[in-house]
Amino acid sequence: AAAASAAGNLSFPPDFLWGCATASYQIEGAAKEDGRGPTVWDIFSHTPGKVANGDTGDVACDSYHRYPEDIALLKALGVKAYRFSIAWSRIFPEGRGKPNQKGVDYYNRLVDALLAAGITPHVTLFHWDLPAALPGGWQNRDTAYAFGDYAAFMAGRLSDRVKQFMTVNELLCFTDLGYLTGGKAPGLKLPQKDANQVRHHGVLAHGLGVQAIRANAKAGTRVGLAENPSIYVPAVETPDHIEAVKKATRDTNAMFLTAIMEGRYLDSYLTAQGKDAPKVQEGDMKLIGAPLDFLSINVYTGKMVRADVSKPEGYAILPMTGEAPRMPSKWLYVTPEVIYWGLRAISELWKPKALYISENGCSADDKVSDDGKVYDTDRVMYLRNYMTHLQRAAREGLPIKGYFVWSLMDNFEWEDGYTKLVGIHHVDFKTQKRTPKLSADWYRELVRTNRLV
Ligand code: GBH
C-alpha cells in the first residue's frame, strides 16, 4: 500500500510518463524540401487575410533540419517521451500513390535519434496538414481511405521502433473549423449538412486508421487518438452536478468522441441534425467504434455545468463571463479543474484502458528580458494549477499514464501565426536559437522529482 505520508500525497505514480508535444506543420519548415507535397495549410497560410501577419509554416522552427537540437532540449528537460506528428505529404506528396523515400528517411532519422537519446516516440499520424492534392479534402469519403492506406504504410515502416500511435489530432479542428466556420484550413463555410458529412469522414478516417495500424504493425503496438473533447467542471462538487457533467460530456461530443467510444451516433444527435444527419454506410460504425488501447485528450479549457431538472437534457452549460481569467489566446479561459473532471467523466463513461494528456499548455505574455531569458510566470502559474488537478486524477486512481506539455517550443500557432506563442522554450525566429523559459526550468524540476512542490 502507498505510504500515506503528506509528501507522498503530492507524488505522481512512479512510472508516470512525462513528455512534450509538437506537430509537423507547426515546427518543421522545409515546406518544399525532399519532395514534400503541398498541404491545405500551405495554401491557407499563403492566402492573404487568413493567418495573422501573413505568417506561414514555410520555415517555422526549421525542425526538419534542427531536430537534433530539439532532441537535446528534450534530453535536458529529462522527459521520457516526445509526441510529434508525421507530415502525410512528406510520405505521400499527393496523399496517396507512390511513397517518397526521402520523407520516410526523415522520420526514421528522427525516431532513431530519439531512441538513442532514451526518449520514447509517440506518433500522431495526422495533425491537420492534409495533402492538398486529395480531391475535395475531407468532404470526400475517399480521403478517409487514403488516410487508412497512409496509416498502414507508416505502421509497417515505424512499428519496429514506435509503439504508440495516435491516428488523428482534434477532430473538431480539422472538420468544423476547416469546413463549417472556416477559421482553419481549408477555410470553407459549408452548410451544416455538408459539415456533418465531413465530421463523419473524420471519425471514419480514425477507424480505418486503427484497423490499418492493427493489421500492419508489429505486436505490442498501441493505437489511440488525440482528441479535444468538450469537457466540463461541476458547478458544485455534489452528485447531481457530477452526473450532469457526465451527461453533458457524452451529449456534446456525440459527433466525435462519443461515436468513437460507443460505436454509434446518439439518437439525440441524429434527431437534432434531422435531414442534415450524416450518411453512414454499412460497417462504418463498427470501424469507428473499434476498442482502443488508450485515449489521449488535449486539455486547455472547459465550462462549468450544473444539474437543471427543468431542461429535457437535465443540465445547463454555464457561459463564461467576460471577466473570467484567460491567457492571451481569446478562447483560453483558465479552468485548471477541468483536467481532473475531464479525465474522471471520460473514465466513468467509457472505462478506457489507459488515458494520456496529449497536450496541455498556454499562450502567455512572453517577453525576453535583458538577460535573454523569458520569465513566463503566468505560464508557470497556469501549468502548476492544471498539474495540481492532474495529480488529483492520478492520486484517485484514474488510469492516467502520462502528460505531454504543449509545446516543446514556440511555433506556428495556426491562424494566429507567430503572434501567440505556446512553447516552454523561446525560439528566436530570426536566428532559430532556442532558450528555455522559466516554465521549462519549472517543468524540468517537476519531471525530476515526479511530485508537486
Ligand atoms: C491545440 O488545439 C492544437 O492541437 C495545437 O496544434 C495548438 O498549437 C494548441 O492547441 C495551442 O493552441 O475561436 O472557435 O476558433 C487546442 C484546441 C480548439 C483551441 C479550437 C482553439 C478555436 C476556437 N483548440 N479553438 S474558435
Which residue out of 170, 227, 337, 413 is catalytically annotated? 170
Is the minimum distance from the CB of 22 to ligand 1 under 6 angstroms? no
Question: Tell me, what's the pLDDT at 9?
Answer: 85
- Give me the pLDDT at residue 441, please: 98
More confident residue, 308 or 7: 308
DSSP codes of every residue in 312-372: TTSEEEEPPPTTS-B-SSTT-B--TTHHHHHHHHHHHHH--S-EEEEE--------B-TTS
Nearest-5° Cα angle at 349, 346 to 353: 65
Is the pLDDT at 372 greater than 80, yes or no? yes
**Residues 73, 425: Cα–Cα separation, whole Å:** 8
ipTM rounded to 2 decimals: 0.93
Mean pLDDT of 439-445: 98
Question: What is the per-residue pLDDT across 39-94, written as a single tens digit (0 to 9) for each?
Answer: 999 999 999 999 999 999 999 999 999 999 999 999 999 999 999 999 999 999 99
Which grid coordinates are listed for 396? 484517485
Looking at the predicted structure, is the pLDDT value of residue 37 above 80?
yes
Q: Is 359 annotated as catalytic?
A: yes
Expressed in angstroms and rounded, the spacing between residue 261 Cα and the centre of ligand 1 is: 22
Instruction: Tell me the one-letter amino acid at 247.
Output: K
199: cell is 465530421
Distance (angstroms) between ligand 1 centre and the Cα of 102 equals: 30
The single residue of 227, 337, 359, 413 carrying the catalytic annotation is 359
Report the mean per-residue pLDDT for the chain. 97
Please report which helix (H) or strand (E) contains residue 207, including its range.
helix 192-216
Q: Which atom of ligand 1 is nearest to the CA of 407?
A: 8
Mean pLDDT, range 296-309, rounded to an integer: 98
pLDDT at 229 over 50: yes
pLDDT band at 166 (very low <50, low <70, confident <90, very high): very high
Burial class (CB in 10 A: 0-12, 13-18, 19+), 53: exposed
Prediction pTM value: 0.97
Element (H, E) at 440: helix 438-449
Better-scored residue on pLDDT, 7 or 62: 62
Q: Average pLDDT, stretch 143-160?
A: 99
Whole-number Å distance, alpha carbon 227 to ligand 1 midpoint, is 11
Ligand 1 contact, 300 CB (< 6 A): yes
* Confidence band for 8, pLDDT divided at 50, 70 and 90: low
Report the C-alpha gap between 392 and 451 in whole angstroms: 12
Give DSSP secondary structure letters for 65-86. Answer: HHHHHHHHHHHHHT-SEEEEE-
Report which protein residue has its CA nearest ligand 1's atom 23.
331
